[in-house]
Amino acid sequence: MEYETIIGLEIHAELSTESKMFCGCSASFGGGPNTKTCPVCLGHPGSLPVTNMKAIEYTMMLALALNCEITPRSVFHRKNYFYPDMPKNFQISQYDIPLSTDGHLDADMNDYVRKVGITRVHIEEDTGKSIHIGESGRIHGAEYSLEDFNRAGIPLAEIVTEPDIRSAEEARAFMQLLRATLEYLGISDCKMEEGSLRCDANISVAVDGKLGTKVEIKNMNSFRSLFRALSYEEERQRFALEQGGGLIQETRHWDDAEGKTHPLRSKEEAFDYRYFPEPDLVPIEPDPEWVDRLRENLPELPQARFHRFMEQFGLARDIASMLTGEKALADYFERAVETGQGPEELAKWIAGDLSAMLREAVVPIQHCPVAPRGLGELVALVNQKVISGKMAKEVLREAFETGKGPQRIVDEKGLSQIADAHELEVVVDEVIAENPGAADDMRTGKEQALKFMMGQVMKKTRGKANPEVASRLLKQKLIGRE
Amino acid sequence: MAISIEDVEHVARLARLKLTEEEKETYRRQLSDVLEHARKISEVDTSDVPPTSHTLPLRNVFREDSLRPSLSVKEATGSAAWAVEGAFKVPRII
Amino acid sequence: MKIIEKDALSIAGLIKGREISALEVTRVFLERIDKVEKKVKAYINVAAELALSRAKEVDMELADGVEAGVFGGVPIAVKDVLTTRGFPTTCGSKMLEGFVPVYDATVVERIGRAGTVMLGKANMDEFAMGSSTENSYFGPTMNPWDLERVPGGSSGGSAAAVAAGEAPWALGSDTGGSIRQPAALCGIVGLKPTYGLVSRYGLVAFASSLDQVGPMTRTVRDCAALLGVIAGYDPMDSTSIPGELPDYVGALTGEVKGLKAGVVRELSSEGIDTGVRERFGETVSLLEKLGVACEEVSLPSFAHGLSAYYIIAPAEASSNLARFDGVRYGYRAPGESEDVWEMYDRTRAEGFGGEVKRRIMLGTYALSAGYYDAYYAQAQKIRTLIVRDFGRAWDEYDVLVSPTSPSTAFKLGEKVDDPLTMYLSDICTIPVNLAGIPALSLPCGLSDGLPVGFQVMGPPLEEPKVLNVAYALEQAIGFDARPEL
Ligand SMILES: [Mg+2]
Ligand SMILES: [Zn+2]
């Protein structure tokens, strides 16, 4: 029997507009409960929604970035269901005529590309937040809940994919690319932990090409939990199928602490949303010129930049992918390249030591204490043989910790290499005099001896000797050639 | 068109209305009457008629993305005697 | 003529001419309310203190030589479906008993800016659902012409207040006839404007695609004047029509010669009471005498108007009224609830009255899986046919006419237990709402001592024409009967 995992994603991204979707309250994160509310977003009797043009524009930008068609005339619908975090007990959303449809986003999987179809990108409003009060702070077992409507009405772009994803790895790669796309467009904060980017998944396992039972997974709050939840669920479903057991179509909740999915049973849910056209709003018919202007003004997107980094700078696939996965990181790299140093070397420093330090210190690249110019300076010092590669690592750490420029650190600590042949010659002569045995070995062509002699030179200069110059001098003096 | 007590119960659940047995029967009867009358519309041939949800020719009604003052927490929660520290208290959800 | 018998424009003139102060006018009306309110019950809440202090402000402004608005000091009644900041707004429901809005409806703001003095919030069928005002949680309003009869509804309080001299004019709202039918039954003028002409911001929604606020007045001229105050673009309402407003009062020339009127067969023959039919026929003859060519026209889709309406309006209502759940405002069922779902179920069962629950159930059913296409979608297609029928009529006619209501005021309790019969009272008014066009009801005489209403319908935004035809008729009819109280 051949198993194939089939995954489709439904993603909600909060848009970073100033004001909410249908009222003038702030769409920013946080604040005391109900400090960012008004009659509209509290669903007060008589209040009416008015659409935020920026939210429409942002959603269209996203749709265009995902290669979607913009619908010439789309409408809002009401999705009716009761829930305490919903001020009106309906959500203004889109249904059979969404803002855009039929796109795709291609995730690079290193040795292959996964083309994921985008069914639709539409716009809707976010709900408020329930805070569960009771022993665990979780919804189960809470004594009561407190409702805060600050989040209610923040614009959400909903992205629905085709079931084109075949593994948890692909799902994660797709989400990372989508996150980067949102970030490049500058239309969302994309913080999965704060809930500004949320992802639900439909997953099933097909057996010998026959479609399986679809299970919906909710509550995956990071890329890691998306990957873990889907891996777990894939295993669970395969195991059930192997055992000959059946699967039921259901919604399951990912418990990150436990590392398992659980059925989400709730007696309140009656799945009949009674969608109908929102009578308080009028259709959206984007002017083709507006759409063209947005299309023309789209920034360079992650995939394009990824390919450009490989072509223009000769970067390896994995480094290019890593650098372009985060806009700020790619920007940092390009600013460093402006210093005139080698792109490959710079990329290696950024992807290697610098990223490690940022991770360790939990500092985003935007606040990196070493400026792109500083990194260029560091690479220049290595290239000009002022410091060795090994010394450069220490200089970078020092620069990261103190914020001082690499040149300044080298100057202050007197770290510059001894590359002056005359100066080094004195040391080399001393070493030859002090180690006649090893000198003889070198003369007779023993490779090992050179390393030893070099070690002695480094010891005398406390590591500051330029290795190339020292090695040349030793060879000249003992074997008569370089 | 006659509807059943089960239909009434299903609809009452969607609409979140607690009904007594007596009310269920009353609504069953009354809704059946109204729907029976309304069923006449199904006899009209509308195969090439588009639906009208708006009689207005308006489209693209937008506002600028700018802030307007929000309510004070006191105003926002002033109509709910059960509010606690700026939030609306509700009984347990599950 | 006593102040309480005068029309609003005359009162405005007296105040402007310093013949009487705003405060005196307000006192006169408050005294009248004191005197007859026990019998009529037109108001849910009288804003006596607020009105007196507002009237004093107006007088002070006038003394300072400030123009205190076009209608400075003229009292007004406001249907309790419009939000009033700091003053209770109940929608005739237990659900909103004691609810105090944090903002003013746009129309409330506009009548305030025009200097009017709100006397109180008028009674209505709960959430504007009804044709008799018997569905008010706060008890029914009585028809000033016969206290055993209903004033019509849902704006029955507004209509009764104007007819009883408890206010010179009032604001109502009309979803399926809720301004025109009570205006007809109480012998006053009522206009449902073109959908989108008057802002719905702050109008507590019943059926959003049909609701419209409008004037309820003693004369056509007042009607035109009040429309001029409340109409106009509002950025807070996405369905508000932009553009300049015509001069509605200026349009009242009384010159109608050469116009063509269509008498809608489907709304003026079958199911119309004899007395109503007689007054209607006489009025059509009068119209002809004024030089308007009248002929019968058939608009076949109207036969399905009532059915389409009683699907679409409850469907929208079921969604609009979902927000009343005991979480953020309004009624919450007392005592412990097992969980939030039980709290919802109890709150809504206790907070809503029978008719509201019935319509919520009906609308929920019509939208639910498996029934949407047969009911809701089909009703919206019928709506298209009605719009088309009207459209064809406007190619031929300047206005269409019909009786406003198939009967005069009926007895309290007569239809309250039979929803379908009650719904039939809206048969003449409903097509207008489905098509979003303007229509006005004006008194055209009495039948057995009870007023009969004559409906004038016009193409979208042709309020000036509708008002002018009504004005010409009003002059010709010379209706001056008043209820004895
Ligand atoms: Mg959604
Ligand atoms: Zn708001």
Mean pLDDT, range A25-31, rounded to an integer: 93
| pLDDT mean across residues, chain C | 96
Mean pLDDT, range A171-185, rounded to an integer: 96
Residue C424 above 90 pLDDT? no
Task: Please report residues of A whose CB lies closer than 8 A to that of C82.
Answer: 46
* Amino acid letter, residue A274: R
Residue A270 above 70 pLDDT? no
Mean pLDDT, range C10-31, rounded to an integer: 96
Task: Please report residues of B whose CB lies closer than 8 A to that of C364.
Answer: 11, 14-15
Q: Which of C235, C308, C377 is facing B63, going by the closest CB pair?
A: C235
Query: pLDDT category, A265, cuts 50, 70, 90?
Result: low
H or E element, residue A116: strand A113-125
Beta carbons of A144 and B92 less than 8 Å apart: yes
Residue A15 above 70 pLDDT? yes
Mean pLDDT, range C155-182, rounded to an integer: 98
pLDDT above 90: percentage of residues in chain A: 66
Query: pLDDT category, A456, cuts 50, 70, 90?
Result: confident
Three-state DSSP state, A324: helix
Query: pLDDT category, A245, cuts 50, 70, 90?
Result: confident
CA angle (A16 as vertex; A15, A22 as ends), nearest 5: 65
Ligand 1 centroid to Cα of residue A190, in Å, is 16
CATH number of A421-478: 1.10.10.410
Residue C323 above 80 pLDDT? yes
Ligand 1 centroid to Cα of residue B16, in Å, is 22
* A81 alpha carbon, closest ligand: 1
Nearest-CA distance from B64 to chain C in Å?
Answer: 11
Query: pLDDT category, A266, cuts 50, 70, 90?
Result: low
Beta carbons of C380 and B34 less than 8 Å apart: no
Query: pLDDT category, A461, cuts 50, 70, 90?
Result: confident
Mean pLDDT, range C219-239, rounded to an integer: 98
Instruction: Spell out the residues 6+ positions from residue A423 whose beta carbon is closer than 8 angstroms to its own.
Output: none
d(CA C411, CA C450): 12
* A124 alpha carbon, closest ligand: 1
Query: pLDDT category, A466, cuts 50, 70, 90?
Result: confident
Q: Which two tokens stand for residue A399?
A: 């620069």
Would you state the pLDDT for residue B79?
A: 96
CB A407 within 8 A of CB A381: yes
Instruction: Please tell me whether the peptide bond between C441 and the residue prior to it is cis, using omega within 30 degrees of 0.
Output: no
d(CA A380, CA A376): 6
d(CA B36, CA C419): 13
Q: Which two tokens stand for residue B94?
A: 């599950």
Q: Which two tokens stand for residue C21?
A: 């102060």
Nearest-CA distance from C299 to chain B in Å?
Answer: 14
Q: Which of A94-103, B26-35, C170-179, C246-255 has the lowest mean pLDDT?
A: B26-35
pLDDT above 70: percentage of residues in chain C: 100
Ligand 2 centroid to Cα of residue A198, in Å, is 22
Residues of C acting as catalytic residues = 79, 154, 178
Mean pLDDT, range A186-203, rounded to an integer: 91
Assess C108–A contact: CB distance below 8 Å, yes or no.
no
b/e for A431-447, b at 16 or more Cβ within 10 A? bbeebeebbebbeeeee
Beta carbons of A37 and B71 less than 8 Å apart: yes
Question: Pick the residue with more confidence: A127 or A466?
Answer: A127
Would you state the pLDDT for residue A417?
A: 67
Superfamily of domain C3-255+466-477: Amidase signature (AS) domain (3.90.1300.10)
Residue C1 above 70 pLDDT? yes
Question: Pick the residue with more confidence: A113 or A470?
Answer: A113
Would you state the pLDDT for residue A49?
A: 98
Query: pLDDT category, C465, cuts 50, 70, 90?
Result: very high
Q: What is the pLDDT of residues A5-14, one digit of tens each?
A: 999 999 999 9
Instruction: Spell out the residues 6+ positions from residue B88 whose beta carbon is closer than 8 angstroms to its own.
Output: A34, A84, A146, A147, A149, B77, B80, B82, C327, C328
| pLDDT mean across residues, chain A | 91
Assess A78–C contact: CB distance below 8 Å, yes or no.
yes
Ligand 2 centroid to Cα of residue A40, in Å, is 5
Ligand 1 centroid to Cα of residue A278, in Å, is 15
Residue A125 above 60 pLDDT? yes
Cα distances (angstroms) measured from residue A175 to each of A70, A188, A201, A225:
22, 14, 11, 12
Beta carbons of A50 and B63 less than 8 Å apart: yes
Residue A418 above 80 pLDDT? no
Nearest-CA distance from C342 to chain B in Å?
Answer: 8
Residue A405 above 80 pLDDT? yes
Nearest-CA distance from B79 to chain C in Å?
Answer: 5
Mean pLDDT, range A272-283, rounded to an integer: 96
Query: pLDDT category, A39, cuts 50, 70, 90?
Result: very high
Assess C209–B contact: CB distance below 8 Å, yes or no.
yes
CATH topology of domain B5-42: Histone, subunit A (1.10.20)
Assess C56–B contact: CB distance below 8 Å, yes or no.
no
Task: Please report residues of C whose CB lies closer than 8 A to that of B30.
Answer: 358, 419-420
Q: How many CB pairs under 8 A join A and C?
A: 104
Would you state the pLDDT for residue A169?
A: 95
pLDDT above 90: percentage of residues in chain C: 94
d(CA C186, CA C177): 14
Q: Which of B71, B73, B88 is facing A146, going by the closest CB pair?
A: B88
* A37 alpha carbon, closest ligand: 2
Mutation to test the B interface, candidates A34, A140, A251, most B Cβ within 10 Å? A34
Angle between the A317-324 and A327-337 helix axes, to the nearest 10 degrees?
A: 110
Q: Which of A145, A268, A280 is facing C239, going by the closest CB pair?
A: A280
Residue A481 above 70 pLDDT? no
Nearest-CA distance from C420 to chain B in Å?
Answer: 6
Would you state the pLDDT for residue A269?
A: 55
Would you state the pLDDT for residue A390?
A: 81
Q: Which of A205-219, A248-262, A368-382, A422-436 has the lowest mean pLDDT?
A: A422-436
Mutation to test the C interface, candidates B3, B13, B55, B70, most C Cβ within 10 Å? B55
Ligand 1 centroid to Cα of residue A12, in Å, is 7
Task: Please report residues of B whose CB lies closer than 8 A to that of C339.
Answer: 91-94
Would you state the pLDDT for residue A482?
A: 60
What is this model's ipTM? 0.97
Q: Which of A255-269, C20-34, C230-244, C465-479 has the lowest mean pLDDT?
A: A255-269
Query: pLDDT category, A60, cuts 50, 70, 90?
Result: very high
Q: What is the pLDDT of residues A344-388, one digit of tens each?
A: 999 999 999 999 999 998 999 999 999 999 999 999 888 887 887
Would you state the pLDDT for residue A28?
A: 94
Q: Which two tokens stand for residue A43?
A: 């669903």
Domain ranges, ordered by start, for chain A: 3-293, 300-413, 421-478
Assess C124–A contact: CB distance below 8 Å, yes or no.
no
